Structure 1
Amino acid sequence: MMRQESSDEAEDVSLFDADDEGQRKSKRKRIRHPVACFFHLFFRISAIVVYLLCEFLSNSFIACFVTIILLLSCDFWTVKPSSQGKRVSSEAESKIFWLGLIICPILWVIFVFSTFFSFKLKWLAVVIMGVALQGSNLYGYIKCKIGSGKNLTSMATSYLGRQFFKTAMKKENTES
């Protein structure tokens, strides 16, 4: 008993006659490089987890130190820019990348303060390396995003100068 479908039933029609705008948006939000996204977060988060659980996992400070440094170094290798041409990433991938790139160095800075307040100064070398590696990675990508020819310090100085000038001009105009 085979059922025959009419041509109207077999036709794939979008719900409520919506145009393909929704399809285009979903393609932008879809993750196109799941392996790269996974490893970008994996190495960063693994280094943090190993640091937090290191005293429970191993009695060897050196083993923990080396493991954390290797994980953070693998992160550099994983997310390095491709020289084979520009790869297009989706909005979701961009958000994952930048959130991971910004949040992890912030956590390492928090760990620096926690080592001071907990008086576990032997871990200070580990957290400083975490800040240095993650911070330099963040700095490099911000510099690439803004433009490699510009110096971040001069850009910040220029921005602050413009803001100061605008404030001074507004103040002068309100006094007149």
Structure 2
Amino acid sequence: MLRQDSSDDIEDVSLFDADDDASRRSKKSKIRHPVASFFHLFFRVSAIVVYLLCELLTSSFIACMVTIILLLSCDFWAVKNVTGRLMVGLRWWNQVDDDGKSHWVFEARKVSAQRSKSSSEAESRIFWLGLITCPMIWVIFAFSALFSFKVKWLAVVVMGVVLQGANLYGYIRCKVGSRKNLTSMATSYLGKQFLRQTVAKEDQPAS
């Protein structure tokens, strides 16, 4: 089924023709893809560690910058093409049709009510924890570099924010749907918070 919003196209299609029967029967708490789980965190955590320690390990800014960018690039590719598909059944990419029009495609594995999820809860927690936490750390690095006038590091931290933020945004779109759904979710959440505060104030006894 194809859904359109104001800026791009979102295609909701199944990821695979068949799932691994053995993984379907395993327990939800078990890590079924340990290699993917390891590399989901390895590249992004390594980039952060190198950024924090590079000035202690070497005086060469170029060597540090190249190492960090290589780690960020490997992380972007691995998370976008491998770990998201294996760990949580999500995948996103951009394609250009015959007319030259760009389409953003966001896929989510369809799970029937008769069978359990092929991804485990442990893997899902690892995936989303790493996906959300690391971009936030790079945002902190960006403000730190800006306010401390470390101009030469701004390109590196901006690269970290852009690459890891792109994966975060893409997988959120895969998880919750189109931008309209994102807006409706935010509006619904704010409405619930406002209603809860209003009810709490009305329940308070008058002094």
**Structure 2 length normalisation: TM-score?**
0.59
Which deviations, in whole Å up to 9, do the C-alpha atoms of 1:69-94 show, x marking residues without a partner? 221111122122447x9482111100
Q: Is the 8 A contact 2:28 2:122 kept in 1?
A: yes
Deviates more, 1:155-164 or 1:51-60: 155-164
- Output the amino acid matched with 2:73: S
Tell me, in whole angstroms, the C-alpha distance in 1 between the residues paired with 2:151 and 2:53.
17
Equivalent residue runs for 1:118-133 within 5 Å: 118-133=148-163
Q: By percentage of residues, which structure has more helix?
A: 1
- Output the amino acid matched with 2:33: H
Q: Give the secondary structure class of the aligned counterpart of 2:28.
A: helix
Counterparts in 2 of 1:150 and 1:66: CA distance versus 1, 3 Å: farther
Match in the other structure for 1:30: 30
Deviation at 1:166, TM superposition (A): 8.5
Equivalent residue runs for 1:5-20 within 5 Å: none
Tell me, in whole angstroms, the C-alpha distance in 2 between the residues paired with 1:127 and 1:153.
28
Q: Does the alignment pair 1:76 with 2:76?
A: yes
Which deviations, in whole Å up to 9, do the C-alpha atoms of 1:75-132 show, x marking residues without a partner? 122122447x948211110001111011101111111122133332211111111111
Match in the other structure for 2:17: none
Q: Structure 2, unaligned stretches of length 5 or more?
A: 1-25, 86-90, 92-107, 110-116, 202-207
What is the count of residue pairs matched by the alignment?
Answer: 150
Q: By percentage of residues, which structure has more strand?
A: 2
Q: Which of 117, 121, 126 is the equivalent residue of 1:91?
A: 121
- Output the amino acid matched with 2:149: F
Deviation at 1:163, TM superposition (A): 6.1
- Output the amino acid matched with 2:148: S
- Aligned-pair identity in percent equals 74
Superposed CA RMSD = 3.0
Larger relative contact order (CA 8 Å, sep ≥ 6): 2
Deviation at 1:62, TM superposition (A): 2.3
Q: Does the alignment pair 1:141 with 2:171?
A: yes
Q: Does the alignment pair 1:113 with 2:108?
A: no
- Output the amino acid matched with 1:147: G
Tell me, in whole angstroms, the C-alpha distance in 2 between the residues paired with 1:112 and 1:42.
21
- Output the amino acid matched with 1:76: F
